[in-house]
Chains A and B, each alone.
Chain A
Amino acid sequence: MSTPIVLASSGAEFTPPGAELFDFPPLFAGGPEWLTKPVVLALLGSLITIAFAWSAFAKPKLVPRGMQNIGEVGYVFVRDQVARPFLGKDAERWMPLLLSMFMLIWFWNIFAVIPVIQFPVASHIAFPAVLALSVYILKIYLGMKHQGPVKYFTNLIPPGLPKPIYVLLVPIEYLSTFVLAPFTHAVRLFANMFAGHIILAFFSLVGYWFLIENPSWLGAPVGVLGVVMTILMTAFEMFIQFLQAFLFTMLAAMYIGSGLHADH
């Protein structure tokens, strides 16, 4: 990752950004170790989510005005695209959780492209992990409550297959449901935000390095390319931010649904 790329005539080396992008010291010297930028942004994200939801839904009118219109678009989107396809008649019951989750993740993600802030909260795995873990615990709790403490685990295995198949199927099914599903649930969001942040940092650093910090005729086109790519990738990242918030919520709805009713 720290392989030097020598393009500048001055002999200075361009170093692409790496994992150190995600290391933050405490906000101020001598402050508590936990008071870092990601922590502040995580709390700010939940504050913004609450403020937005409050402005939209605190005093809802039958004929919506202003913020309520925007809030309702979000609500109807989550209900029709996430909750209803996976939960059917239970959709309304789980909308509070799904809507909260969708909005919080999206605001966390949007921080990545807001000037000055420019950091996706979910690129620190702790945040996707607690969300995925909450859904994981909820899934198992609902499964044992609605299908029975033992039946939930036996329902996962489809009946009526030749005996030898089960030797393969049972471990795979349990591994996928109880280990891989929550892991990929968290990592999918984390990795997308992590990679997106590196990509944006890389291209903007290319632009900055070759046009301002170390300008040269040879390096200028590369710098321009870096700036153009930064703009394009920012637009792309905004799409990914929404998509990942949507996907995470959709998977949450799917896992909740799998707890409520047996799949097979």
Chain B
Amino acid sequence: MITAASLLAAEGGNNPLIPHTYELVVGIFAFFVVVLVVGKILTPRIQKTLAERTELIEGGLKKAEDAQAEAKQTLDAYKSQLSEARQEAARLREEAREQGAQIIAEMKEQAQVEARRIVENAQAQIEQERAQALASLRAEVGALSVDLAGRVVGESLEDEARQRRIVDRFLEELESSNAAGKAL
């Protein structure tokens, strides 16, 4: 180094390793002005902006995550509601079926009762009508047969009381023989 410097000095030029004083001053000035303006004023601004950008991006990601979590929560709630509704529907269906079956059974019973009532009514009416017919027949058949018998026998049987007694006796005999036959 020393030899190189002395060589250069010997050539008459300035030694490039020896700084000029005024250049040292200008160098310090130039450097500190840059540090002051670029370092103290401008760099903090871009640092702030970059930090804000990072924050914004991270915030955006966080927001997206939150939204996703919320969507998942909503979906779960919806799914559970759906399954609840399904269970409810099944329960209602079952209930309806039971009710339906019950109603059908009740209706059947009612219908049967009604049918029985109708049949009983009909039977009673028939019985009544039969009795009525029998009574009117009894009178008419008695008169007719006496009339006929009187004509056939030629014997006057015009005494009404006697006639009726004879016919009644006859019919009673007939009825009792009938009833005995039925009982048998």
Contact = CB atoms under 8 A, between A and B. Distances in A.
Contacts of A129: 19, 24, 27
Contacts of B31: 46, 100-101, 104, 130-131, 134
B34 to A, nearest CB: 5
Interface residues of B, number: 38
Interface stretch (A18-26, A231-239, A243-251, A254-262): A18-26
Interface in B27-46: 27-31, 33-35, 37-40, 42-46
B26 A18 contact: no
A1 interface: yes
A194 to B, nearest CB: 6
Interface residues of A, number: 50
A129 B20 CA distance: 11
Interface in A51-103: 53-54, 56-62, 68, 71-72, 75, 92, 95-97, 99-101, 103
Interface stretch (A36-44, A171-179, A222-230): A36-44
A71 B49 CA distance: 12
Contact of A71 (B17, B30, B39, B46): B46
B56 interface: yes
Interface of A: 1-2, 18-20, 22-23, 33-34, 38-39, 42-43, 45-46, 49-50, 53-54, 56-62, 68, 71-72, 75, 92, 95-97, 99-101, 103-104, 123-127, 129-131, 134, 190, 194
A131 B36 CA distance: 14
Contact of A18 (B11, B18, B25, B52): B11
B34 A104 contact: yes
Contacts of A57: 42-43, 45-46
A23 B14 contact: yes
A19 B38 contact: no
A28 B11 CA distance: 25
A104 B30 contact: yes
Contacts of A42: 23, 26-27, 30
Contact of B35 (A20, A75, A92, A96): A96
Contacts of A54: 37, 42
A130 B32 CA distance: 10
Contacts of A60: 45-46, 48-49
Contacts of A97: 35, 39
A154 to B, nearest CB: 31
A131 B44 contact: no
B16 A19 contact: yes
A72 B47 CA distance: 10
